[in-house]
């Protein structure tokens, strides 16, 4: 358990952005409720993307695996 926690901390510090694609109202609500408990640095890294076209503008798609059933 300690190893998982330590790796999560190092991942969180090196994280450039946390992109949520097709966020549901439930995900948005959970993040809004937990925002007071999340550091402002981490919460500023959260980005919502509604379409794959928006995601394509943000990051190169050759690094992203999207199943054919979604595309």
Can you give the residue ranges of every domain in the chain? 19-70
Q: Rounded mean pLDDT of the chain?
A: 82
pLDDT at 11 over 50: yes
pLDDT at 54 over 50: yes
pTM: 0.70
Backbone angles phi, psi at 21, to 5 degrees: -95, 135
41 Cβ partners below 8 Å, 6+ apart? none
Q: Could you tell me if 44 and 53 are in contact, meaning their C-beta atoms sit under 8 angstroms apart?
A: no
Helix (H, G, I), strand (E, B) or coil at 48: strand
């Amino acid at each position: 358990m300690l190893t998982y926690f330590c790796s999560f901390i190092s991942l969180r510090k090196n994280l450039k952005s946390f992109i949520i694609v097709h966020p549901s109202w439930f995900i948005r609500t959970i993040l809004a409720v937990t925002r007071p408990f999340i550091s402002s640095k981490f919460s500023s890294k959260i980005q919502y993307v509604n379409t794959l076209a928006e995601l394509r503008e943000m990051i190169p798609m050759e690094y992203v695996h999207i199943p054919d059933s979604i595309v």
